[in-house]
Amino acid sequence: MSKVETVSELITQRRFLNDVEQGIKAANRQVIHAAVPELNKDSFFGLAVALAKLRANYLQTALRILRTPDEELPAVLAEVKCRREAFEEGSKAFEALERAIQRGYVDISGA
């Protein structure tokens, strides 16, 4: 294979990947923008507050371990696990929304 063929193939691959990336961005923008049209500073901040509450509930429940008798510990640990999972899912959702904003998938009203 000659250098020209190699360079030509690289250019073709880059164009293809660029076209795919643009298509993915357009698809995400169309679908996500339709599903999340009300995003603004208040709703984004509201989600941040909700996540802070999930974190506080998780930590508050975790601290109950200090005051829990051994026989009640399994129930408290089950609740800690549940609260941790809720916090982690909320965190992932918040990060996904941040990424969607950064990638231009949603419009931010009042920004």
Residues 6 or more apart from 110 whose CB is under 8 A from it?
Answer: 40, 41
Question: Is residue 111 scored above 70 in pLDDT?
Answer: no
Phi and psi angles of residue 109, each rounded to the nearest 5 degrees, phi first: -80, 145
Predicted TM-score (pTM) of this structure: 0.76
Coil/strand/helix, residue 103 = coil
Q: N- to C-terminal Cα distance for the chain?
A: 53
pLDDT score for 110: 65
- Domains of the chain: which residue ranges? 1-35, 38-111
In which residue are the tokens 């076209």 written?
19
Phi and psi angles of residue 40, each rounded to the nearest 5 degrees, phi first: -150, 180
pLDDT tens digit string along 55-91?
999 999 999 999 999 999 999 999 999 999 999 999 9
